[in-house]
Amino acid sequence: MSIEGSRLDPWVDSYAGRARSLSGSAIRALFAVASRPEVVSLAGGMPYVQALSMDQMADIAAKVIRERGAQALQYGSGQGDVRLREQILEITAEVGVLAHPDDIIVTTGSQMALDLVTRTFCDPGDVVLVESPSYVGALGVFRAYECDVIHVAMDDDGLIPAVLQETIDSVRAAGKRIKLIYTIPSFHNPAGVTQSPERRQEILRIGQESGIAILEDDPYGLLGFEGAPPRALRADDSEGVIYLGSFSKTIASGLRVGWAVAPHGVREKLVLAAEAATLCPSNYAQLTISEYLATQPWREQIKSFQEVYRERRDALLESLQAMMPAGTRWTIPAGGFYSWVTLPAGLDATAMLPRAIAELVAYVPGTGFYVDGQGSANMRLSYCYPDPDRIREGVRRLASVVETELEIARTFGTASGTEVPGTGESATPGPDLA
Amino acid sequence: MSKQSARQILVLSGGLSPERDVSLRSGRRVADALRSARPDWEVTEADVDAGLLPYLAEYRPDCVVPLLHGAAGEDGALRDVLETLDIPFVGSPASASRLAFDKPVASSLVSATGVAVPEFVVLPQSTFRELGAPAVMKAVSGRIGFPLVVKPTRGGSALGVSIVREERDLPAAMVSAFSYGETAMIQRFIEGTELAIGVIDTGEGPQALPAVEIVPETGMYDYHARYTAGATEFFCPARLNNDVASAVSDVALTAHSALGLSDLSRTDVIVDADGTVWFLEVNVAPGMTETSLLPQAISAAGLAVGDVIASFIN
């Protein structure tokens, strides 16, 4: 059977233009190795679900099926189970978000809420302002809807309001339409920083004055290591902010349950969009979460998670301080899962990844968290999954890799900003690493 | 697991190389093809990790199909282990795999048979450090000329490979290659038609399969072009006149025999505007994924992947 001009995919000319960006890459393939037990993966953002009592989770799952099986295994409301929505309000109250159960839509992880909001607000070419860097999963959604994504600078206090205002002015002066300001104010993924209270008020004011909706993504808000959880933006503006929350980090990511708290008009649209996309979120998963919240000391469990992650954060920071070569910088997260590392001048984290994988340590290169090629000098390190000893071993290996790369950079004089072939591609990781 | 009466075949894939993902896909595809071709055999798949040797000792498969790409899978190391354990396997012996996996060694051996090989220089990273990278790069590029190709001496799937057209891009290309290994090959770039030729030996001597012509959308057959359906256009048999097609097959058969390869191999060549066939490299564990070249050639020859692999086992 001869092959005449085959591209091995008979539908290749039928795909939408936006699907052209959906392809594999060498970097993505490298992450396949990160799943091997020999590799210390500082790449994945997987919560440490082993901290849960599996016996209790099994009892809950069995009880849901035994006592409410007919409901759990059936279609449900497109907006989500009403009892769970009431319970979600107990959780959002921890970050100051007070609302009515009708203001909530339950989604298949907050990732789906991101998709619904973007689909509802954005036409192709509309601008979405995001932090610099920003969550890779959100960038993927914005790209899928053909949004024009523009990064806005951050510092150790998060998104910089003055730069946000300047960006809005310049984008509008260029005749473009801005639809959303997307922000992760607390324990940022990937930057590890948190917006100060003053910044939050300024950002709210800018959103209100400019008439741009703020999309607040807050999966880590309850996972702080010091004091009370940061007050959400939505707590001080119920009309201008769409708030996204998730059980993925505080209970179990595998259940895929998140939510959006949205103003009335937006919520109506989101429910219709959700029904068009999936009919309804999983009833089984919702009832499992609901039963967990009703019967388990979830606040205590969150404290337990905080302790686990704080110990791991400390192991990471102490190891970085002790072992990384001079010129390496990193953020100090006060919660969440991540620290954002800046390599010494001249190093490229994407180009370095093959060597790191060969030395059995993995991270996510910074370019995956930008749409415009920035981030080559950065990497995201996650401390959520490996135990402290593994983290220390991972940093030891990573420090050795960086030393070797420094030597090569010195040899070849590859100055900062030099483009290394093969690194122009997106370093976008898969869902288990996002 | 106790040994059953059915023939026990173990497909090995995965490993720790950068080509792990490709290898896993190759392994699944070949295992499925074998199960379809020989439902009377028991085909098992396994990764290569610390559990492999105890597994082999207990399981004692009748034959192993190693589909590991990159180091350990293609450099002969795993095959050495299988030979030590006296477990039969499909493909080239360890000694031949070692020769083929090292691109400069393979190029030199194939060149010695009279086949055209683009001029190349092989340098470890330490040479650049000790002698000064600018001077070494100037000397090498002065001899090879631009455009040139920089690649790691060991490894596949075009990982770490760059085509360099201007001097200013050479340092970054070297850094990229050294991310995948300690030694780099700097080779003259040949403009022309890119081809891959499978060679199989099902018991009647090596036979060249129809050449696959590769036309990547972006002009470079890089990782994306290799493993993204739609990113590359293929022609098989290649659009060559009979004389060139014959010469291309001869080069593949020559490489296969010069390196002492067995069962299967895939040779990559470029045919320039004058019709000269230039040898680039040979693979002892060629990719067997949905977009890989050898399965296309097997299909174009009117054969089925499962039957071909089964014949090697037999």
Q: Which two tokens stand for residue A238?
A: 């119920």
| Active-site residue, B19 included | yes
* Close Cβ partners of A64 (under 8 Å, ≥ 6 residues apart): A72, A284, A287, A288, A291
| Active-site residue, B98 included | no
Which pLDDT value is given to residue B223?
Answer: 80
Confidence grade of residue B159 (pLDDT, cut at 50, 70, 90): confident
Which residues in chain B (229-288) have CB-CB distances under 8 A to chain A?
A: 229-237
Kindly state whether residue A228 falls inside one of the protein's structural domains: yes
Q: Is the pLDDT of residue A23 over 80?
A: no
Which pLDDT value is given to residue A1?
Answer: 66
* Close Cβ partners of B268 (under 8 Å, ≥ 6 residues apart): B194, B195, B196, B280, B281, B282, B283
Kindly state whether residue A430 falls inside one of the protein's structural domains: no
Which pLDDT value is given to residue A24?
Answer: 64
Residue pair A283/A360 in contact (Cβ under 8 Å)? The answer is: no
Range of the domain at A195: 54-295
How far is it, in rounded angstroms, from Cα B150 to Cα A40? 30
Looking at chain A, the whole-number percentage of residues with pLDDT higher than 90 is 84
Same structural domain, A237 and A325: no
Q: What pTM, to 2 d.p., does this model score?
A: 0.89
Q: Is the pLDDT of residue A14 over 70?
A: yes
Same structural domain, A356 and A260: no
At B132 the three-state DSSP class reads coil
Q: Is the pLDDT of residue A425 over 60?
A: no
Which pLDDT value is given to residue B21?
Answer: 87
**Kind of pairing, strands B8-12 and B63-66?**
parallel
At B157 the three-state DSSP class reads coil
Q: B155 or A359: which carries more pLDDT confidence?
A: A359
Q: Which of A341, A337, A333 is nearest to A309 (CA)?
A: A337
* CA dihedral (A78, A83, A84, A90) positive or negative: positive
Q: Is the pLDDT of residue B11 over 70?
A: yes
Strand pairing partners for A158?
Answer: A155
Which pLDDT value is given to residue A417?
Answer: 41
Average pLDDT over residues A347-375: 93
How far is it, in rounded angstroms, from Cα B278 to Cα B115? 7
What is the secondary structure of B26-53 as a DSSP string? HHHHHHHHHHHH-TTSEEEEE--STTHH
Residue pair B28/B13 in contact (Cβ under 8 Å)? The answer is: yes
Chain B nearest CA to A410, separation (Å): 9
Average pLDDT over residues B186-192: 96
Residue pair B183/B152 in contact (Cβ under 8 Å)? The answer is: yes
CATH superfamily of B100-114+191-313: ATP-grasp fold, B domain (3.30.470.20)
Cis peptide before A263 (omega within 30 of 0): no
Pick B120-188's CATH classification: 3.40.190.10, 3.90.1150.10, 3.30.1490.20, 3.30.559.10: 3.30.1490.20
Cβ count within 10 A of residue A129: 25
Kindly state whether residue A6 falls inside one of the protein's structural domains: no
Which pLDDT value is given to residue A421?
Answer: 38
| Active-site residue, B227 included | yes
Q: Is the pLDDT of residue B231 over 90?
A: no
| Active-site residue, B7 included | no
Confidence grade of residue B1 (pLDDT, cut at 50, 70, 90): very low
Is B133 in contact with A413 (Cβ distance < 8 A)? yes
| Active-site residue, B266 included | yes
Chain B nearest CA to A181, separation (Å): 33
Which pLDDT value is given to residue A13?
Answer: 84
Same structural domain, A39 and A96: no
* CA dihedral (B213, B217, B223, B226) positive or negative: negative
Q: What are phi and psi of A408, to 5 degrees?
A: -65, -45
Nearest CA in chain B to A408: B175
Which amino acid is it at A147?
Answer: C
Average pLDDT over residues B185-193: 96
Which pLDDT value is given to residue A25?
Answer: 67
| pLDDT tens digits, B234-258 | 999 999 999 999 999 999 999 999 9
Residue pair B97/B275 in contact (Cβ under 8 Å)? The answer is: no
Q: How far is CA A124 from the centre of its chain?
A: 23
Is A425 in contact with B290 (Cβ distance < 8 A)? no
Nearest CA in chain B to A401: B179
Integer distance in angstroms from the first to the last C-alpha of chain A?
Answer: 42
CATH of the domain at A41: 3.90.1150.10
Same structural domain, A35 and A69: no
At A216 the three-state DSSP class reads strand
Please give the tally of structural domains in chain A. 2
Same structural domain, A198 and A233: yes
Nearest CA in chain A to B157: A26
- Of the candidates A8, A348, A422, the beta carbon closest to that of B229 is on A8
- Of the candidates B129, B162, B235, the beta carbon closest to that of A3 is on B235
How far is it, in rounded angstroms, from Cα B53 to Cα A235? 59
Which pLDDT value is given to residue A130?
Answer: 98
**Measured between beta carbons, which residues in chain B are less than 8 angstroms from residue A420?**
172-173, 175-176
How far is it, in rounded angstroms, from Cα B191 to Cα B272? 6
Kindly state whether residue A428 falls inside one of the protein's structural domains: no
Q: Which two tokens stand for residue A348?
A: 């490229």
Q: Which two tokens stand for residue A105?
A: 């839509």
CATH of the domain at A206: 3.40.640.10
How far is it, in rounded angstroms, from Cα B232 to Cα B218? 8
Same structural domain, A272 and A320: no
Is A413 in contact with B160 (Cβ distance < 8 A)? no
Query: B17, B23, B107, B157: which is the annotated catalytic residue?
Result: B157
Domain boundaries, chain B: 8-90, 100-114+191-313, 120-188
Same structural domain, A25 and A76: no
Residue pair B210/B297 in contact (Cβ under 8 Å)? The answer is: yes
Average pLDDT over residues A82-106: 97
What is the secondary structure of A295-356 as a DSSP string? HS-HHHHHHHHHHHHHHHHHHHHHHHHHHSPTT-EE---SBSSEEEEEPPTT--HHHHHHHH
How far is it, in rounded angstroms, from Cα A312 to Cα A40? 14
| Active-site residue, B281 included | yes
- Of the candidates B171, B224, B235, the beta carbon closest to that of A414 is on B171
Confidence grade of residue B13 (pLDDT, cut at 50, 70, 90): very high
Q: Which two tokens stand for residue B97?
A: 């795999």
Same structural domain, A133 and A258: yes
Considering the segment(s) B8-90 as one domain, its CATH architecture is 3-Layer(aba) Sandwich (3.40)
Which pLDDT value is given to residue A156?
Answer: 94
| Active-site residue, B268 included | yes
Same structural domain, A157 and A192: yes
Query: B42, B45, B75, B268: which is the annotated catalytic residue?
Result: B268
Q: Of the residues A236, A266, A295, which one is the last residue of a structural domain?
A: A295
Which pLDDT value is given to residue B222?
Answer: 83
Find the radius of gyration of the CA atoms of chain B: 20
Is B229 in contact with A7 (Cβ distance < 8 A)? yes
Average pLDDT over residues B73-81: 84
| pLDDT tens digits, A101-124 | 999 999 999 999 999 999 999 999
Whole-number mean pLDDT of chain B?
A: 92
How far is it, in rounded angstroms, from Cα B82 to Cα B5? 22
Mutate to test the interface with A, among B68, B125, B175 (most CBs of A within 10 A): B175
Kindly state whether residue A1 falls inside one of the protein's structural domains: no
Kindly state whether residue A425 falls inside one of the protein's structural domains: no
Looking at chain A, the whole-number percentage of residues with pLDDT higher than 70 is 94
Is A6 in contact with B20 (Cβ distance < 8 A)? no
Chain A nearest CA to B159, separation (Å): 7
* CA dihedral (B32, B37, B38, B39) positive or negative: positive
At A382 the three-state DSSP class reads strand
| pLDDT tens digits, A403-424 | 999 999 999 987 444 444 333 3
Is A26 in contact with B210 (Cβ distance < 8 A)? no
- Tell me whether B133 touches chain A (CB under 8 Å): yes
Q: B262 or B217: which carries more pLDDT confidence?
A: B262
Kindly state whether residue A370 falls inside one of the protein's structural domains: yes
* Close Cβ partners of B204 (under 8 Å, ≥ 6 residues apart): none
Half-sphere exposure of A161 (CA within 13 A, CB side): 16
Residue pair A149/A139 in contact (Cβ under 8 Å)? The answer is: yes
Same structural domain, A274 and A373: no
Half-sphere exposure of A132 (CA within 13 A, CB side): 18
Same structural domain, A378 and A263: no
Kindly state whether residue A3 falls inside one of the protein's structural domains: no
Looking at chain B, the whole-number percentage of residues with pLDDT higher than 70 is 98
Same structural domain, A307 and A325: yes
